[in-house]
């Protein structure tokens, strides 16, 4: 923790992801512990939860390796499935 009178150039604001990353760390750990072919199903998520999970998983495990799919439920909450990506499934491909 920085002292209140620390010089301005030495103060660092917490990164935006540092506040929510621990919340999803257990989910990331659970996914990395799964056997091949298994997936996680998460429910009662907010739209922001889904965005943050995507960012965390794509950054940590690589977008080419993991797939996060979600759907909004009738009550406004979201469900998400996290699983290994099969081949180049759902990746945007640009013509060369």
45-55 pLDDT per residue, tens? 999 999 999 99
Average the pLDDT over each of 16-20, 22-26, 53-57, 73-77 and give the range with the smallest value. Answer: 16-20
Cα–Cα distance, 85 to 92 (Å, whole number): 13
Q: Which residues of 9-37 are buried (b: 16+ CB within 10 A; e: fewer)?
A: eeeeeeeeeeeeeeebeebbeebeeeeee
Domain ranges of the chain: 17-84
pTM for the predicted model, two decimal places: 0.68
Average the pLDDT over each of 21-25, 43-47, 67-71 and give the range with the smallest value. Answer: 21-25
């Amino acid at each position: 923790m920085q002292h209140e009178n620390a010089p301005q150039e030495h103060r660092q604001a917490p990164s935006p992801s540092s506040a929510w990353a621990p919340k999803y760390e257990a989910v990331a750990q659970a996914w990395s512990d799964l056997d091949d072919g298994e997936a996680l199903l998460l429910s009662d998520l907010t739209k922001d939860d889904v965005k943050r999970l995507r960012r965390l998983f794509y950054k940590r495990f690589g977008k080419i390796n993991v797939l996060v799919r979600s759907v909004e439920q009738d009550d406004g909450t979201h469900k998400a499935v996290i699983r290994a990506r099969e081949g180049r499934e759902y990746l945007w491909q640009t013509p060369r």
